[in-house]
Chains A and B, each alone.
Chain A
Amino acid sequence: MPKVKPRVKSVKDLAELRKRLRSSAKNFKSKLTICGGTGCHASRSQDVIDAVKKELKKRKLEKSVRVRVTGCHGFCEQGPLMILEPGNIFYCGLKPEDAGEIIAETILKGEVIERLLYTDPVTSNKVQTEAEIPFYRAQDRQLLAQNRHVDPCSIEDYIAIGGYSALAKTLAEFSPEKVIEEVKISGLRGRGGGGFPTARKWAECRSAPGEEKYVICNADEGDPGAYMDRSILEGNPHLVIEGMMIGAWAIGARQGYVYVRNEYPLAVKHARIAIQQAREYGLLGDDILGGGFSFDMEICRGGGAFVCGESTALMASLEGKVGEPRPKDVHTVTDGLWHKPTTLNNVETWANVSPIISNGAAWFAGKGTRGSKGTKIFALTGRVKNTGLVEVAMGTPLRTIVFDIGGGAINGRAVKAVQTGGPSGGCLPLDRLDLPVDFDALYDAGSMVGSGGIVVMDEKTCMVDVAKYFLAFLQDESCGKCVPCRLGIDRMLEIVTDITEGRGRPEQIDLLKELADTVASASLCGLGKTAPNPVLSTLRYFPEEYEAHINEKRCPAGVCRELIEYEIDAEKCNGCGACRRACPHDAIKGKKKEAHVINSRKCQKCGICLSGCKFDSIIVT
């Protein structure tokens, strides 16, 4: 690569650059793509990368083998992952020690190493390519699949796979109105949680009075367990930048901001490098591609609170003030950042823009349901076999995500419920899993698509405890400005805690519902307005669990400490003593080969003995 980047001054320049990049890529005999995403990183992918590079150097293969470190491929559960070309061979669960063998066998001889392939859990067969893996098979990976083809720190990679051609097309052929029209036809709705029609937001912002306008990318992603925005920004930052540029052209903005969560240093770094590279090529700055459009952007690090993701709080934080929501009686599209018209969209929303322009609105609208178009990325977590990032067409049944892609519950247990939509989403029972992931369908069922967290729960999950967990999270994250949210969530938590600790009274259920209604209707911002969802949805679908806690002082799932007792089934216990030795509180007594007993006064209900007993003799009642 030349040190000084050639400035791309026109659409023709860009096409020529792409051609050059593509032909120089042919110099590599093979390609080795290793996931450097956060999940794989945690399973030591960096060591694998180092080992591979060392091995290539040793064998003087650096010039003919391209090593590309990319963002997340989604299947983090199996990381570190590697894909080899030619052959499209997919290796997983790699260790640094495997590097030598991979180079010697696969790169040099073209032999596939069985041991490193993925085993289909159903057929027990080894499979060679991503496409054959059930986890990937049921997905429709429009955005995530691109991660595999780009090194996030290389704008050249992005341009080679067709990057910035949507921008070129926009500037050359589309008026701002036409861009908005195209996005409208595509049916794109915001991926940040609310599902607001993107085109409508843009149109309102475009027609708002004022010369100066802004576009903002919301990359705050405060939802615990969610990391789809991170994976896109970290893995393919130019996709987001290009989307923002097209949006800026449409609404008439010259300046953009990416507001990134403070805990995402790699996303910050990659986005920063990407912006720098785009500037060097002249893709950001004045008169972009000779189309008379000027635009630049900056990165801003988040205020470190969940509520900073809320649009008005985010803008306050960008302005250097305390990140607290303000009443939105005048919308931010008219009165946003520095009181100027502002369009704020989520990372994934922006990432969808350039594919819509490139492939056409009809292509996008061809996927999904009547009201929810395109694909959506979900973070699948909880008690499910294949955790990771999943991208499916909108309208895919939750069942497909949980069972076909996720592989069902771990340890052969039964799935009981699925929580969607992050901390303020809702819990749906098993018999609702045929619901499609669709903004409106999930909303009607008392849950939501939200930003895309899906947590799978099995029979060992207590739904009252789940409600308590989310309430505690939201109470912690409430900014505390308005009364219904600050005091209402607090009182809901107080009541639910009473219930889980055996002090619940039947009339508290009605009070809980009334409070939930008040908090949802009267709170200032979205946090308070959606906070009651976990309580309401569990009350709606699992009332019997609340009743068991209140009326029988019993926790059916055996979770709520105050309501459970550990006992040993004397019939089953053979006196092996494993539990006695494991108990940190010295609560178990018994002679060798005789049934043991638990002293309930000493027992702290930690559950350690449970996993120690190989004979299923310990029961929770």
Chain B
Amino acid sequence: MKKYVTLKIDGAGIRAPKGSSVLDVAIEYGICIPHLCHVPNLSDIGACRLCIVENIVNGRSKITTSCTLDVQEGMVILSNTERIKKLRRNIAELLVAQAPNSRAIQDVAVRCRVKEVRYPFRNSGCVLCGRCVRVCEEMWQARAIGFVGRGKDRRVDFPFGVRPDFCKKCGSCIDLCPMTITPCDGPMKPGEEYLCGKCESQLSMASGAMEDICVWCELGKGFQCARYGHQ
């Protein structure tokens, strides 16, 4: 028999099976916490840090990622406080400055309310979310790709830089990569460090009143967001 716990997310009382993560439960209940490195059914590594929430323990707030946090009886979670929104915006800004031409990253950034980017653009082709690495290892047991190097030199690569025989060429790594979604027509250029705002116009017209609704982002569509059902 499944065991359940009750908790509160943003004030809503929620009953959730023990062992599930706060992020999964929130999404299921229609509370979309922005996230990037999380993929349903794969392990969570807490790398992108976009899914941070405040976990109130004994009256004190601890900031932690909701994808790595398991639900517990009586938990009180706040996913959308001013503090969290500000931190999340700053993280998304760092990401979008790193990969300004990725549609998925732009979507997430808009969802996190990034309007302007205060850093010089870089144009890297990978944000090290590790989706590809985990799907390869966990879904296909192939381990054909992995992280190499540390810090600034960290990258995703095949062992010794060549595609190994045991790569199943399944393409899952590419399917899950946020960099591969067809870019929108407003990609950014160095010197124009702002978002074109097209995706923002998809937000509710009355954005003041419904500030935190889902933007139906491309990321969600590509990545099995609960909102899109199982299309």
Among A335-388, those with CB < 8 Å from B are none
Q: Shortest Cβ distance from A460 into chain B, in angstroms? A: 30
Which of A169-177, A276-284, A487-495, A578-586 lies at the binding interface? A487-495
Interface centre among B90, B151, B152, B153 (most CB of A within 10 A): B151
Give the interface residue-count category, chain A.
20 to 34
Known contacts A490-B152, A518-B87; is-contact A483 B48 (Cβ 8 Å): yes
Q: Shortest Cβ distance from A476 into chain B, in angstroms? A: 6
B69 beta carbon closer than 8 Å to chain A: yes
Q: Are A480 and B154 neighbours in the complex by a CB distance under 8 Å? A: yes
A484 CA to B91 CA, complexed, in Å: 6
A487 CA to B36 CA, complexed, in Å: 15
Which of B60-68, B167-175, B194-202, B220-228 lies at the binding interface? B60-68
A322 CA to B148 CA, complexed, in Å: 10
Pick the contact of B151 from A327, A476, A518 — CB < 8 Å? A476
Q: Are A522 and B151 neighbours in the complex by a CB distance under 8 Å? A: no
A305 beta carbon closer than 8 Å to chain B: yes
Known contacts A329-B70, A515-B90; is-contact A480 B49 (Cβ 8 Å): no
Q: Which residues of A contact B151 (CB under 8 A)?
A: 475-480, 486
Q: Which residues of B contact A475 (CB under 8 A)?
A: 151-152
Q: Which residues of B contact A490 (CB under 8 A)?
A: 152
Pick the contact of A483 from B94, B120, B147 — CB < 8 Å? B94
Known contacts A329-B69, A486-B152, A491-B94; is-contact A481 B63 (Cβ 8 Å): no
Residue of A with least CB distance to B48: A483
Interface size in chain B (residues, C-beta < 8 A): 33
A491 CA to B97 CA, complexed, in Å: 10
Q: Which residues of B contact A523 (CB under 8 A)?
A: 49
Q: Shortest Cβ distance from A528 into chain B, in angstroms? A: 9
Known contacts A329-B68, A522-B49, A522-B52; is-contact A484 B94 (Cβ 8 Å): yes
Q: Are B119 and A494 neighbours in the complex by a CB distance under 8 Å? A: yes
Q: B87-101 toward A: CB 8 Å interface, digit per residue (1/0)?
A: 100110011011000
Among A303-342, those with CB < 8 Å from B are 305, 307, 322, 326-327, 329-330
Q: Shortest Cβ distance from A478 into chain B, in angstroms? A: 4
B128 beta carbon closer than 8 Å to chain A: yes
Q: Are A484 and B49 neighbours in the complex by a CB distance under 8 Å? A: yes
Residue of B with least CB distance to A305: B150
Q: Which residues of B contact A491 (CB under 8 A)?
A: 94, 97, 119
Beyond the given A307-B150, A329-B68, A483-B49, could you list 13 further A-B residue pairs with CB under 8 A, ordered by the A residue number?
A329-B70, A475-B151, A478-B151, A480-B128, A480-B150, A482-B46, A482-B48, A483-B94, A483-B95, A484-B49, A484-B91, A487-B98, A518-B87
For this complex, 15 residue pairs linking A to B, each with C-beta atoms less than 8 Å apart, are A305-B150, A329-B64, A478-B152, A479-B151, A479-B154, A480-B151, A481-B47, A483-B49, A483-B50, A514-B90, A517-B87, A518-B87, A521-B63, A522-B87, A522-B91
Tell me the A residues contacting B by CB distance below 8 Å.
305, 307, 322, 326-327, 329-330, 475-484, 486-488, 490-491, 494, 511, 514-515, 517-518, 521-524
